[in-house]
Amino acid sequence: MEQTKKGRAVLNDRALNKSTSFNREEREQLGLRGLLPYAITTQKTQIQRVMENIRRKDSNLERYVFLNALQDRNERLFYSAVIHHIKELMPIIYTPTVGQACKEFSHIFRQTKGLFITPEDKGEISRLLDNWPQTDIRVIVITDGQRILGLGDLGANGMGIPIGKLTLYTACAGIHPHQCLPVMFDVGTNNQEYLEDSLYLGYPHQRLAGQAYFDLMEEFILAVQQKFPNALIQFEDFQTPNAYALLKKYRNRSLCFNDDIQGTAAVVLAGIYASCRITGHALADLRIMFLGAGSASTGIADLMASALQLEGLTEKEAYSRLRFVDSKGLITSERVDKMDPNLTYTHHEPKLSLMEVIHLVKPHILIGATGAAGTFTREVIETMCAINEQPVIFALSNPTDRAECTAEEAYRWSKGKAVFASGSPFEPVTYNGKTFRSGQGNNAYIFPGIGLGAVACCATKITDELFLTAAKTLALLVSDQSIEDGTLYPPLHDIRNVSLQIAVEVAQQAYDLGLAGKELPKDLKQFIADMMYNPSY
């Protein structure tokens, strides 16, 4: 397309702007002479300048604001910096910093990056989508802000989650930023602090609920199918009842998935596959216990049950290997109603505490998804060590200060025996002369690759088989050296390659299952690699 913008208009267009990297000829042609300093710098030099500025900031929230401003003025430089420094910058653009950024979203707001839908838009959502400047949307991330990370109801402040997730889609899997749409389903908040905050930017009412809520979502889904027929919809951070209701309603009607339920499940299952290489246990022999019974835990259990059945267990045997404990103790059939997603995993043991269940079940793996810090106490870790030579501990809650235990606590209390992974990053821990590098069970290892694979083959829907494939692929990408270090996931610096490999396997599985909407390319991997956005100048 012929370039028509000139001068300041070029510098103000985040997709076009290269700042000091415009060469002499470009400066002449685009009317930029005199508008930039004399020096012509490479993107590599610009990234160096970006990182120097980031590192002199006093807090990660300030770094988050700085990076958002960079994204607004020079998109390609932003993504190049993130890709080249993914390990350092991912905790800033996403967990744990995004949690704080969401809490303060209305106070640090600078420039809009997404679409906001409120109850006042009922009947007009299709017209709202027309206001979005891009038309070739391939990935939509939507939240209603009711259960943001472990922070609860943040209302419209939860918009930081779709923005952050889509940033990772681009950085980790090469989905073009102009094909991404963050959506805030702003149906109010029950957080009185925000309703009384004069700076709060959301719909200032109690949450819409019941049929009116689902009718508004139905209108949105239908409008997306009409306006953006190739778009994948990712549900993010919905409260458990709504999360399951929406997934059940739409999973066979549209191209969609819930990252908290299915993405978390796949990344944890991958970690469990990898842990078997450390502990020597066969997958079919594992007993797994969950602390926390929300959508994340139930999603992991659902996928784990499928994986166990693929190993030869019956459905009943698979379910018998999984136990749930919440703040009230063991979840039994007497405690849940027939609509509860956890009903499948209830047993008839008496009401027991966490420690009593550990002694009774003797789990090999303990998975925490509570949103409550410190729930994996020293007694819990030591008891897991008493019944396992190498207990596997997943402390999944984030942000970091909500983790069930820290990496240092897990290694110190277990005397270096634990195989540990977490939802948020922790620094390496040295114990008795050995350095342990815990893996981060970050959904960014899964959802970008799933999305890229689905978009590449024009998938019609996303099934559990695709998440099983993604989990197995991710586990196979964990190197022998990582296993030696006790790490259950590949290094973050390799995440674009990880996403590509997952996308290839997911797309191939979609073709095999008859879920692809376009003809299979001769070289699927090359086809997908060529699709990936490259932000280099």
Interatomic CA distance for residues 62 and 124, integer angstroms: 37
Q: What is the 3-state secondary structure (H, E, C) of 400-455?
A: HHHCCCCHHHHHHHCCCCCEEEECCCCCCEEECCEEECCEECCHHHCHHHHHHHHH
518 part of a folded domain: no
354 part of a folded domain: yes
Could you tell me if 287 and 436 lie in one domain? yes
Task: List pLDDT tens digits, range 15-46.
Answer: 999 999 999 999 999 999 999 999 999 999 99
What residues are annotated to the active site? Answer: 94, 165
Mean pLDDT calculated for residue range 54-75: 97
Is the pLDDT confidence value at 336 over 70?
Answer: no
* Mean pLDDT, rounded, of the chain: 95
Contact 322, 345 (CB under 8 A): yes
**For the whole prediction, is pTM greater than 0.85?**
yes
Could you tell me if 288 and 393 lie in one domain? yes
H-helix segments, 17-174: 24-29, 43-55, 60-73, 75-84, 86-93, 97-103, 105-108, 125-130, 160-173
Give the pLDDT of residue 116. 98
As for how many domains the chain has, the answer is 3
Task: List pLDDT tens digits, range 435-470.
Answer: 999 999 999 999 999 999 999 999 999 999 999 999
Residue at which a domain ends, from 388, 421, 444: 444
CATH number, domain at 28? 1.20.1370.30
516 part of a folded domain: no
Question: Among 148-162, 331-345, 349-363, whose mean pLDDT is lowest?
Answer: 331-345
CATH number, domain at 428? 3.40.50.720
Could you tell me if 424 and 301 lie in one domain? yes
Give the pLDDT of residue 2. 53
State the residue range of the domain holding 315.
Answer: 262-444
Residue at which a domain ends, from 254, 274, 302: 254
Tokens representing residue 525 in the block: 């991997």
Interatomic CA distance for residues 452 and 458, integer angstroms: 10
Give the side-chain half-sphere CA count within 13 A for 84.
17
475 part of a folded domain: no
Give the pLDDT of residue 327. 80
Task: List pLDDT tens digits, range 247-266.
Answer: 999 999 999 999 999 999 99
Is the pLDDT confidence value at 359 over 80?
Answer: yes
Could you tell me if 222 and 285 lie in one domain? no
Could you tell me if 298 and 424 lie in one domain? yes
